Structures are given as structure tokens and as C-alpha cells.
Amino acid sequence: MASFHCKVTLSLFIHIVIRYILTVRPNMRTTDLRRLQTLAEFRYTLRQFLHFSEQASIGAGLHPQQHQLLLQIIGVPTGVTATVSYAAERLGLRHNTVVELSKRCEEEGLIRRTHDASDHRWVVLQVTPRGQQLLQSLSEDHARELNELAPRLIQALAQIRSNGQPARSYISTKESSKRDINAI
């Protein structure tokens, strides 16, 4: 009798779980599913690029954060001074983390740290010739990788902008993607 009762209880439990899944869990519309698939593909492609970037940095003898710091310093807009605060904001790191990172980069001869002439509280960051050489080499590698990934990124972005609808292909050949990326 106990065995029969357990089977009935288990059967009833399974029935309740299935009913719950079918009625409470909202059914996903095709457009919602397509949007999530597009976001997943976009995120995957971004992650591939970030992984490539990290490995390229390590291959060049840099920590990935050192590479990112060099890039933010040399890429500072005209009229903006590359300070520790600026770099912290651009890298999404705390100020004290960038202070330590910049000190390590200075010790390795990648950057110079100087105090601002008008306000000695500000530390100004400049990339050295050695840092520029490393950054140039890495940037060439990154441009090649972006040329490979650009069609997928552009397609996913176009689909996201069109609310998950399949987007027309903006890039039809590798040549046109190279032209687009090299124009940036």
C-alpha cells in the first residue's frame, strides 16, 4: 500500500510540475527568442574579440590591463589630458587601481608619469616610444581580427536595431569589411 501511495504522490507531483511549467512560465514569442539569439550571438562575438585581445596582449609581453591603459592614453581626444582620473573612468577601474597599474607600466618603460604644472594633484600619463611600438604592433593585430569579426558584429547590431527582425546584409565580402574597418 505504501508503494502505491508513493507512486500516486510522485505521479501527482510530476503532473503539478508539468502543469506549472506549461501555465505559469510565459511562452516565448518567436520575436523574443530571435532577439535573445541575436544578443547571444553579439555577446559571443564580442567575447571572441576580447579573448583575442587578452591573448595578443599576453603574447606581446603585456598584461591585458596594461594594453588597455596604453590604448586609452594614446587615444585621448584632442584638448583632453590623459590623467589617472581620466584613465580610471575610461577603463572602468578605481582610481587607486589605475595608480598602481600606471606605476607598473612606468617601471616597465611603457609610460611616463608626471605631475601637472598647474595642479600637482593631477598625474599626467604619456606613452613612451617603447609603449608606442608595442601598441602599434598590437593595434595592427587587432585591426586584422576586427576585419574578420566585423561582418558578424555589424549583422548582429543591425538585427538588434531592427528589434530582432532579420537584417539585410550590410557586408557582403571580406573586402568591403576591410575597407569599412580601415576607414575607422
Per-residue pLDDT of the chain (184 residues; tens, 9 = 90+): 544 444 556 566 665 666 665 555 456 677 778 888 888 988 999 999 999 999 999 999 999 999 999 999 999 999 999 999 999 999 999 999 999 999 999 999 999 999 988 888 899 999 999 999 999 999 999 999 999 999 988 988 888 888 655 555 544 444 444 444 444 4
Q: Minimal CA–CA distance to 164: which of 37, 28, 27?
A: 37
User: Residue 62 falls within a domain, yes or no?
Assistant: yes
pLDDT of residue 125: 97
pLDDT at site 78? 95
What pLDDT is attached to residue 23? 59
Residue 13 lies inside a defined structural domain of this protein: no
Number of domains in the chain: 1
Contacts 24+ apart (CB under 8 A), 41-49: 41/152, 41/156, 42/153, 42/156, 42/157, 42/160, 45/149, 45/152, 45/153, 45/156, 46/153, 48/149, 49/145, 49/146, 49/149
In a domain, 19, yes or no: no
Which CATH number do you get for residue 160? 1.10.10.10
Beta bridge partners of 111: 127
Residue whose grid cell is 595592427: 140
Distances, alpha carbon 111 to alpha carbons 47, 70, 94, in Å? 28, 8, 19
Q: Does residue 127 belong to any structural domain of this protein?
A: yes
Within a domain: 12: no
For residue 156, tell me if it sits in a domain.
yes
Place of cell 539569439: 37
Range of the domain at 86: 29-182
Residue 74 burial (C-beta neighbours within 10 Å; 0-12, 13-18, 19+): middle
Give the three cell numbers for residue 99: 595608480
Q: State residue 156's pLDDT score.
A: 86
